[in-house]
Amino acid sequence: MRSSLIAGNWKMNGSLQSVIDLVEGIKAGDPGNAELAVCPPAVFLMKVGGMLAETGISLGAQNVCDREAGAFTGEISAAMLKECGCSYAIVGHSERRALYLESDQLVAARFSMALSAGIIPILCVGETLDEREQGVTETVVTRQIDAVLDLCGIEGIARAVIAYEPVWAIGTGKVATPGQAQAVHAFIRAKLEQLDSGVAQQVQILYGGSMNPSNAAELLSQPDIDGGLIGGAALKADDFLAIAQSA
């Protein structure tokens, strides 16, 4: 039985004070049975990590460098994230792929670095509206996952979380229907099943894209949806906790 993970991706939002308030709000609430993780902007990781000590809430980064150390201005290594207390790192978020031109191979390299530092990568995959309309959703998701399989194998996926995030649903208020989301989640699990059924059954596959307290319960009740990667609604402690409670 897979447990539910509700992860908040705070993106580049907030200030030191608003981040402190948000963490206090989440700590004060009741997440039900779901595991929680929060991914604040990197400059606040140490602060948030300290505030989360002994709460059971995990800390995650929004990205991780594909190299170990050295002259990579502006990047943050997996080992540094580990020292900040990160258990998770998002890799391949569609904003990174689209706005910062991260290729499937770069995302795979980032994934690999996270694993080697003992950080659980949250691998984001998903199609654009154009790709959905062209009927190539499965091709796109396959290509994105195959890049990681080529570098890290199914053993790598076994130590990761996958997040299916249709690009057209991110930050748009347009949410995939539970049926649309479930179909892609089931496709991903079936694809992994061909390589290792134990891994396929155990790996958590989160949904992301305009999940909020009013649509979460139905999405999270789908058999292959094991949690959520939440953007906008994760910036309000009450909404984030309400989503967790419906898991």
223 CB-contact burial (10 Å; exposed 0-12 / middle 13-18 / buried 19+)? exposed
The C-alpha angle 247, 15, 102, rounded to 5 degrees, equals 70
The CA-CA-CA angle for residues 238, 8, 137, to 5°, reads 125
35 is catalytic: no
| Residue 211 binds ligand PGA, judged by CB under 6 A | yes
- What is the rounded distance in angstroms from the CA atom of residue 166 to the CA atom of residue 208? 7
Q: Quick check: 214 binds ligand PGA (CB under 6 A)?
A: no
The amino acid that residue 105 corresponds to is Q
Of the two residues 199 and 237, which places its CB atom closer to ligand PGA in the complex?
237
Which residue in the set 102, 165, 224, 226 belongs to the binding site for ligand PGA (CB under 6 A)? 165
Q: Does 131 participate in catalysis according to the annotation?
A: no
Shortest CB 212 distance to ligand PGA, Å: 8
Judged by CB, which is closer to ligand PGA: 115, or 230? Answer: 230
CA-closest candidate to residue 118, choices 74, 84, 86, 70:
86
Catalytic residue among 93, 127, 131, 185: 93
Q: How far is the CB of 41 from ligand PGA (least distance, A)?
A: 14
Chain residue whose CB lies nearest ligand PGA: 231
Tell me the C-alpha distance between 195 and 8, whole Å.
30
Residue ranges that bind ligand PGA, judged by CB under 6 A:
9, 165, 170-171, 208-211, 229-233
Q: Catalytic positions, please? A: 93, 165
